[in-house]
């Protein structure tokens, strides 16, 4: 691995999304030099599925030799970002480096992506990066060797990187376009660069995308943090670059990249936005035991997603049979709002029945609109559809008699949910 040189000793790094993954790895690398690290992230309380909080990250940074300042920050909130920047300057005397690492991902097509998810990705990836940069720049301009580093890809304009997840690509490329613009705007004052991994990196996000079998095809976050260290210890005249981690480390003389592999010797999965096209990535993931939730074309609509709604639909799929279809003869569409928003369907009219995410294969006979939490309550028997309808929690459009048949089906499912 790339050795530390001590060049970041006493420097203050403001890192978004530093409570886990790549952000934390960059923080720990800098901490070994004796740097000050502002952990600007949302996770203050332990998450049931994601490791680490800003406080556990702070403990690791201190143990590595740095000084940590954990701040609860949602990068979409201008006041929270502003407060964190001001507090960081008050505590450490300034800001020398900004790492825009916080990011949101949702790999779905245009019709399958709720606007709530679009707003989330644009708000964190694009607006959050722009906002945090804007607020840090006045202090960076006072530093001797200031840098902004965005964890974002090179601007690959091949349409294949847009067609399957247009919203995500727009949001992620927004971070990269910020590099393009700010590098030129602040040339001679601040080094502004982008960094992107050549292969998949083992993070919570990657496990969500590829399932538990994806780890062996990944490298550790430390390869990105070593490449980031190489960038951030260079003069500010190194600017406007879209750096790939492996390429940068080869220039540093690193030859053995197995040290970064989760499973040395195992084939590695190329990352998005580089040379391999999406269909090739899916094939490689499946060949080596992973189960990607993103697929191109129609298969994408059947993507396996996580959460209580998805778990409910797994059970619904398992109990579908010709008898239920024959007794019901209806196609149901569910427009869900709330935390797990999205469109789902149950086809109890055709063949042996089907269920899944996205629009139903044929026109729906009944459209039900409700909060995702109430949907789960209905199918687990905690909320009767009639009561939900009467209280206004459930809106029904279409054949009411078929809507009542759905209640009977829910009663049959209750013991299994």
Contact 130, 185 (CB under 8 A): no
In the chain, what percentage of residues exceed pLDDT 90?
Answer: 59
**What's this model's pTM, rounded to 2 decimal places?**
0.70
Q: What is the pLDDT of residue 280?
A: 62
Sheet holding 366-371, edge to edge: 354-357, 342-348, 330-337, 366-371, 395-398
Q: Is the pLDDT of residue 302 over 60?
A: no
Q: Which residues contact 389 (CB under 8 A, 6 or more apart)?
A: 395, 396
- Please state, in angstroms and as integers, the Cα–Cα distance from residue 82 to each residue in 79, 131, 383, following that order: 5, 9, 43
Say what angle helices 372-379 and 400-413 make with each other, to 10 degrees: 60
345 is catalytic: no
Q: What is the pLDDT of residue 340?
A: 82
Contact 279, 293 (CB under 8 A): no
The residue from 168, 260, 332, 345 that is catalytic is 168
Contact 36, 67 (CB under 8 A): yes
pLDDT (mean) for 73-91: 98
Element spanning 203, H or E: none
What is the rounded distance in angstroms from the CA atom of residue 311 to the CA atom of residue 316?
9
What is the rounded distance in angstroms from the CA atom of residue 288 to the CA atom of residue 298?
23
Would you give the DSSP letter of residue 396? E
- Please give the mean pLDDT across all residues of the chain: 88
What is the rounded distance in angstroms from the CA atom of residue 273 to the CA atom of residue 295?
15
Q: What is the pLDDT of residue 296?
A: 45
Per-range mean pLDDT, top range of 205-219, 289-303, 334-348: 334-348
pLDDT band at 380 (very low <50, low <70, confident <90, very high): confident
pLDDT band at 298 (very low <50, low <70, confident <90, very high): very low
pLDDT band at 304 (very low <50, low <70, confident <90, very high): very low
Query: Which of 188-202, 255-269, 375-389 bottoms out in mean pLDDT, i.e. has the lowest?
Result: 375-389
């Amino acid at each position: 691995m790339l050795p530390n040189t001590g060049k970041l000793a006493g420097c203050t790094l403001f890192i978004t999304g530093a409570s886990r993954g790549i952000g934390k790895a960059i923080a720990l690398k800098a901490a070994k030099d004796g740097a000050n690290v502002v952990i600007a992230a949302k996770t203050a309380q332990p998450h049931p599925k994601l490791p680490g909080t800003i406080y556990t990250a702070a403990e690791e940074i201190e143990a590595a030799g740095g000084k940590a300042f954990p701040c609860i920050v949602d990068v979409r909130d201008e006041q929270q970002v502003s407060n964190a920047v001001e507090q960081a300057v008050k505590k450490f005397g300034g800001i020398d480096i900004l790492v825009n690492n916080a990011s949101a991902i949702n790999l779905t097509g245009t019709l399958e992506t709720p606007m709530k998810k679009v707003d989330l990705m644009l708000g964190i990836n694009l607006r959050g990066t722009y906002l945090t940069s804007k607020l840090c720049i006045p202090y960076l301009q006072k530093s001797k060797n200031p840098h902004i580093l965005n964890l974002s890809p090179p601007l690959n304009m091949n349409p294949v990187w847009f067609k399957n997840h247009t919203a995500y690509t727009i949001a992620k490329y927004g971070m990269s376009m910020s590099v393009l613009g700010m590098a030129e705007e602040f040339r001679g004052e601040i080094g502004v660069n982008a960094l992107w991994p050549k292969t998949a990196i083992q993070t919570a996000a990657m496990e969500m995308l590829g399932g538990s079998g994806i780890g062996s095809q990944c490298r550790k976050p430390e390869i990105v943090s070593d490449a980031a260290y190489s960038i951030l210890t260079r003069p500010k005249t190194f600017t406007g670059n879209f750096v790939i981690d492996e390429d940068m480390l080869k220039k540093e003389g690193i030859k053995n990249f197995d040290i970064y592999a989760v499973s040395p010797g195992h084939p590695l999965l190329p990352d998005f936005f580089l040379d391999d096209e999406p269909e090739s990535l899916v094939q490689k993931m499946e060949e080596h035991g992973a189960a990607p939730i993103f697929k191109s074309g129609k298969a994408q609509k059947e993507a396996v997603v996580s959460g209580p709604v998805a778990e409910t639909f797994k059970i619904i799929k398992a109990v579908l049979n010709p008898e239920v279809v024959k007794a019901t003869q209806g196609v149901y569409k569910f427009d869900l709002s709330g935390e797990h928003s999205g469109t789902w369907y149950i086809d109890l009219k055709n063949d042996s029945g089907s269920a899944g995410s996205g629009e139903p294969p044929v026109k729906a006979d009944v459209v039900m609109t409700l909060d995702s939490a109430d949907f789960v309550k209905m199918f687990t028997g905690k909320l009767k559809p009639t009561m939900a309808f009467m209280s206004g929690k459930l809106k029904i459009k279409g054949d009411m008699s078929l809507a009542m048949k759905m209640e009977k089906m829910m009663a049959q499912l209750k013991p299994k949910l």
